[in-house]
Each structure stands twice: as structure tokens, then as C-alpha cells.
Chains A and B, each alone.
Chain A
Amino acid sequence: MHASPLLEIKDLHVHFDVYGGTLKVLDGVNFTVQSGQKVGLVGETGCGKTTTMKSILRILPMPPARIPSGEIYFKGQNVLKMGREALRQVRSEGISMIFQDPTAALNPVFSVGQQLEAVVKYSLEGKELSRKEIRERAIVPLKEVALPDPERMLDSYPIQLSGGMRQRVCIAMALVASRELLIADEPGTSLDVTIQDQILRLLHRLVEEKNVSVILITHTLGVVRETTDRVYVMYAGSMAEVANTEELFVNPLHPYTHGLMAAVPRLTGGGVSNGIPGRIPDYLAPPPGCRFHPRCDHAMSICRREKPPFYKLSDSHEVACFLYRDGGKGTRTL
């Protein structure tokens, strides 16, 4: 057993009150990040990945969002019960987030320098620094993300930069204060494949250097395989499977994980599979029991009635599926 985890989410439920009912988006999320770990979170669009991450930082708009139950512990403290000052500390020194679309994440009317300096000031509340010192502190992260000519970069506006450079600026902003946990929400998705590769390698290097823990959110399985040590597979508001990365790719257990893996076109050829039939359920009226059962080839009658708990198949591999209720012994192979 590890020491107390850096981040622990316990049975988190998030609902959105909208016209016409309540969207029950998160339905009991359990998620743990150990210190120094690189954790991947995969799932289809709309499965609740970003909602989970936003609830950690408490940046979900409330209302319409509402958290009826659940706990989020960061270094032993419940984020959901924090006061303003404690929350500010978490946001400025503990956790930072990189968003999917760097163009939308940066303010177009302020220069890169103004935006970076604002972050520097925010993270140093209480300490008085001269403008020159703030500027000097803002340059350091720009150098770390290997942006050419960081001096000039401070005076340029986001529109003058390419997509890859903008994402580097966002990473620089996330690294201004020394952080313990970095949440990267699809950091390469809006970029070209060669640029995505550069950004992921950059993230990897910085994470190793600074010993930061990372949560990498993506819907590309290949990215997860190459950059993380542990993977959570999420479906419709709860975790379907969690395992060490290597194990998950060699031995996926949940039918949903199987479907996802089979749907990825391979470089080795062999055609394209049919994917997973159906789509993510309507959160206004999610199916009872296991939310995956309408799309599952292996659905049994119990799946329609009860939500599967996590079955622990080994120290590092857990799966929420009734196919494995006898511990994986005697189950048919998928």
C-alpha cells in the first residue's frame, strides 16, 4: 500500500440542473493519483472526463452544476469543503490545468507577458515584487518550454503565435509556481500530429525534471500508452476499468475497453473494426444498472438491475463489470 495519495476522489456525483430535468453526469467517480504518478484518463466525448477534472479545481459553474455527494481530497484535505484562502492556495501552488484548445485558453487582448505576469502575481500574494522582478520570473517558464526568444515572446499577442507555441505558453503558465499536480486536458488534440508529439515530449521532460504528478486526459489510446504509468477508463460518468498502462494494453478486461481498443485503426493494417454500437446515454435518463449495458455484447440480466462494483483482479488491476464477479476465474474470454 502506498502512503496517503496526492489526490483522491471518492464516490463523486455531479448533477446539472437544466430545463427539463437533471443531468446525472458523474455517477460515483473513484480516482486516485499517487505522488509522482502519471495517470491517464480515457473515454469518449461526453463521458465526464473534463467535468471530473473541473470539480477538482472547483471551476464548474454552480449552478447549474451541483455536487450532491462525494469527496475530493488533495493532500488529505477535502477540496469541496475548503474556504476561499485554502482554495486559492491549492489553485496557485497545488494544482494547475492545461486546456485542450490553447487559442480559447489565452485572452486575445492581453499580451503573453501580461497574462503570465498575472499568474506570477496571483501565485505570490503577500510578497511584494517590483515589476522588473515579476517580468524576470515570467521569463523563466517560457525558457523551460523551449520557446525561442522568450523576451520578445512576452510582448507578443496570442494571435501572433502558432498553435504549438500557444500551447507551450499555456504549459508555461501552468508551471509558473512550483506545482504538485498538473492536469492536462487533451493537450495535443487540437494540434497537428508532429506538433502534438513535441508537446507531449515536452510535458514528459518537465514532469520528470520537476517531479510533478500528471493527469492526462485524452480520447486517444496511443497517447496514453506512450506517456502514462496508470490508466483509468471512464464511461458515462464512472470508471469502468483501472490498471497499470502496460497491463491494460496487454490485457484489457472491460467490454468497453475492448471495444475502444478494437476501434483504433492499426499501423499494421488489418482493416477497421465496426466500433462500439450505439452512443453515450442521455444523462437526463441514464439506463439503470451498468450504464454500458445497452451497448454491451455480454450484458446479463444483473447488468440491467445493478451497478457493478469494482472487482479487484490483481494489486493493480480493477474492473467494474459483473463478468468478473468471481474474481476473473472461469470467466469467458472476450
Chain B
Amino acid sequence: MTTDILTVTDLKRYFVIGHKDILKRDPITVKAVDGVSFTVQEGETFGLVGESGSGKSTVAYTTIGMYRPTEGRISFQGQNLFEENKVRPLALKKEIQIVFQDPGSSLNPRRNIRQILELPLRIHRRDENQTEQIVRLLEMVELPPDYMHKYPQMLGGGEKQMIAIARALATDPSFVILDEPTSALDVSIQGKIISLLIRLQNEFHLSYLFITHDLSLMRNVASRVAIMYLGKICEVAEAAEFFRNPYHPYTQMLLSSIPVVSAEEEKLKPKKITSTGEIPSPVNIPSGCSFHLRCPNKMDICSRVDPSMVEVEAGHTVRCHLHGQPDQADGG
């Protein structure tokens, strides 16, 4: 049986970005994440897909503890990650680690690789031989031991990302957040990083929360996929099922926008939908369903009522008025 490792329940994270008057009474808020729920099972790769501004990174940063949630709950192995008035215990920090998008800016240019990898070891594994551990970490990401004397700028983009992965694994975590780990890299290097991540997952029984905007990549790495749009999840399904049978109009639009390299892939793309409109600013989220301004299947109800999440098939949930909303006869 699979067990849940991370459960996110109705997570909300708002940012106050200014005030409407000078007395600072009426705050202007950005609803970066607005009621997101999902679970990640042990040993799986859960994919979170969305365009810029959809809130996927905010979900990641809240999970890692960079932000506190405005509302909602995140629990890890049954334990609440945000106890009131309490700093997250070290043992919990050790279990959840993150790899950022751009290794060029996530590695300190003034420290060499040894110092970079040493910091998490000094904090979380003080009683072990550090040099030995660093060599082992470098081995894990297939880099030679003498790399510990190099500085980040001496490495290529792919190698830097491998160091970032090694740093995340230094604490021996069970859950790793991958925030667009390959989007700053060329495809020829992307393959290597992804294979490495998959190998490490099998070796150390890791669970991944994989964030990306690249659906083709998602198809190949994730076991389940969630699509985010303007702070909300609009569809969740098993990866294979997801691409065979997308329900949400936004998912269909995303799929039809992907540039593909073969005729077989072309057949998978929904034909009729062409992408229109811009992604609205998260300060000014449209009423009702936030996607209705760009939706080709818009109905009257869409601009008034925000649809709720409905399970259309086993393990496949969708948040759209077209599909089995309780008060809506027009089923998909």
C-alpha cells in the first residue's frame, strides 16, 4: 500500500504588496496560492505544472518553510509543519530539502564546493567524517572528488545543478522539492540531470515534488500531475491518463501549445483549442472561475461561480463547470 508523505490541505498564501490609502488601512493583496490541496505519496514523483504567476513556486517555498501559510495546513508524515509559535524542528528540516531552478544563483560564488556541501553536514550530521561524506556526495552525483576544491563559476550549468542536488541530499532527506531543476539548462544536459534524479530516487527511496512548466518533461518523470492556474489547482490525474484524456479547457490549451518533435506526439495534442488571451495579474483575479476570460467553452455560470473540485474518474479530479458540477446538468 502507498502511504501519504505530504498532505497539503486548503493552503492559502497571500502577500500584501501595498495599500490603497496612505493610512495603510486597505491592503492590496496578491493571492499567490488560494486554496490548494494535494497529497504526495511515498516514493512517487508528484508533478506541479503551471505558467509563471500560477503560484507553483509559492507552494514549494511554503512547504520548505520560507513562508508561513496564510491559511491551511501542510502535514508531513502526519506531523503539522507549522505549529503555532514554533520554529520548525531540525529533524523535520532535515527531511525536506529543495533544489532551485537556477544553479547559477543558488550556489554562493564565494564558496568552493567543499564549503557549499559542508554547511548542511555541519548542521545535520555533526558526528560524521565530513570529508568522507563530501566525497560520497560527489560520487552520488557522478562527479570526481577533486571537484570539492572548485568554485561554482568553474563549472558548467549541468555540473552546478548536480552540486545543488548533492547539497539537497547532504542531509539524507526523504522528500525533495525540485523547483524547475532543468529549465535553465539545455536539453542535452537536461536528460543527464533527470536520469540522475530518477536513479537517486530509486536508490534512496525519495519522494519528489517536481515543479515545471514543461509538460513533455512531466509526462516522462511524474507519476501524478497537477495543473495550477492563478493560485488554484484545476486538474489532477495520473500522468499517462492525464495526457490521454485531459478534461479542463486550460489543460487542453496547454497541451495544444506544446511544440513537439514527432507525428505521434502531434496526435496526442487536442486540435481545436488555440491559446488566446493573457494570464491575468494575480492582483486582479477574475470573478468566478479564474480561467473564464481565456476559456473557449465559457458559459454564463463561469463568470459568477467558482467551480469546485470534482472526481470525474478514479484518481482524476477536475475543477470546471463543464464536468459534473453538482448544480450543473451539462456533464462532460
Contact = CB atoms under 8 A, between A and B. Distances in A.
Contact of A267 (B189, B191, B258): B258
Interface in A206-223: 219-223
A193 B186 contact: no
Interface string A250-275: 00000000011111111111111111
Interface residues of B, number: 45
B220 interface: yes
A164 B265 CA distance: 26
A137 interface: no
A196 interface: yes
B308 interface: no
B91 interface: no
A155 interface: no
B129 interface: no
A44 B187 CA distance: 8
Contact of B279 (A192, A219, A220, A274): A192
Interface in B151-200: 156-158, 186-192, 194-195, 198
A267 B219 contact: yes
B279 A193 contact: no
Contact of B189 (A249, A268, A279): A279
Contacts of B279: 162, 192, 194-195
B92 interface: no
B250 to A, nearest CB: 9
Given A260-B187, A265-B220, A267-B269, A194 B275 contact: yes
A266 B188 contact: no
A267 B260 contact: yes
A162 B278 contact: yes
B261 A272 contact: no
Among B157, B191, B195, B268: residue with most chain A CB under 10 A: B191
Interface stretch (B120-128, B208-216, B314-322): B208-216
A196 B275 CA distance: 9
B331 interface: no
B221 interface: yes
Contacts of B274: 197, 201
Contacts of B51: 192-195
Contacts of A192: 51-52, 213, 279
B275 A195 contact: yes
Contacts of B187: 219-221, 260, 263-264, 275
B254 A193 contact: yes
A273 B214 CA distance: 16
Interface string B255-283: 11111111011001100001110110000
B234 to A, nearest CB: 14
A107 interface: no
A7 interface: no
A273 B216 contact: no
A164 B278 contact: yes
Among A162, A165, A259: residue with most chain B CB under 10 A: A162
A275 B261 contact: no
A67 interface: no
Nearest to B269: A267
Contacts of B190: 263, 265, 272, 275
A267 B265 contact: yes
A225 B217 contact: no
A275 B215 contact: no
A258 B73 CA distance: 47
Contacts of A267: 215-216, 219, 243, 255, 258, 260, 265, 268-269
A136 interface: no
A273 B220 CA distance: 10
A219 B183 CA distance: 12
Contacts of A69: none
Contacts of A219: 186-187
A198 B265 contact: no
A313 interface: no
Contacts of A306: none
A267 B243 CA distance: 8
Contact of A222 (B240, B261, B268): B261
A276 interface: yes
Contacts of A271: 220
B191 A275 contact: yes
A106 B261 CA distance: 32
A222 B260 contact: yes
B191 A263 contact: yes
B240 to A, nearest CB: 7
Contact of A266 (B213, B253, B261): B261
B182 to A, nearest CB: 10
B124 to A, nearest CB: 30
Given A194-B51, A198-B276, A265-B214, A272 B191 contact: yes
- Top 7 nearest A-B pairs by Cβ distance? A222-B259, A275-B191, A197-B257, A192-B51, A194-B275, A276-B188, A267-B265
Interface of B: 51-52, 156-158, 186-192, 194-195, 198, 213-217, 219-221, 239-240, 243, 253-262, 264-265, 268-269, 274-276, 278-279
Given A197-B256, A267-B260, 9 more contacts: A44-B186, A193-B258, A194-B51, A220-B187, A263-B187, A265-B220, A267-B269, A269-B243, A272-B198
27 contacts: A44-B188, A45-B157, A164-B278, A192-B52, A193-B213, A193-B215, A194-B253, A194-B254, A195-B279, A197-B274, A198-B275, A222-B259, A226-B259, A263-B187, A263-B190, A266-B265, A267-B216, A267-B255, A267-B258, A267-B268, A267-B269, A268-B264, A269-B220, A272-B191, A272-B221, A279-B156, A279-B158
Interface of A: 44-45, 162-165, 192-198, 200-201, 219-223, 225-226, 249, 259-277, 279
